[in-house]
């Protein structure tokens, strides 16, 4: 007879108690992802605006 060693997570059945954990992770991803996307998008826009004003009007980059 031949025995195969299986990882323990394969033998476990899916438990409905994991729904709460899945929802919690989804909320945490949203709470972390939204500010990250905002910063990722807003920084190049702000820099481009400042560089444009510097070239066009001679304004300071620190204003």
Q: What's this model's pTM, rounded to 2 decimal places?
A: 0.55
* H/E stretch holding 2: none
Taking every pair of Cα atoms in the chain, the longest distance, rounded to a whole number of angstroms, is: 84
Token pair for 46: 């702000």
Q: How far apart are the first and last CA of the chain?
A: 78
pLDDT for res 16: 60
Buried b (16+ CB within 10 A) or exposed e, 21-32: eeeeeeeeeeee
Per-residue model confidence as pLDDT tens digits over 6-51: 555 555 555 566 888 889 999 999 999 999 999 999 999 999 999 9
| Residue 20 pLDDT | 85
60, pLDDT greater than 70? yes
DSSP state, 59? -
According to the model, what pLDDT value does residue 18 have? Answer: 83
- Residue 28: the pLDDT is 94
Which token pair is 38?
A: 């905002």
């Amino acid at each position: 007879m031949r025995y195969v060693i299986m990882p323990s997570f394969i033998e476990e059945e899916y438990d409905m108690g994991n729904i709460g954990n899945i929802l919690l992770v989804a909320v945490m991803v949203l709470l972390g992802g939204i500010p990250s996307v905002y910063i990722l998008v807003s920084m190049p826009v702000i820099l481009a605006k400042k560089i444009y004003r510097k070239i066009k009007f001679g304004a300071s980059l620190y204003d």
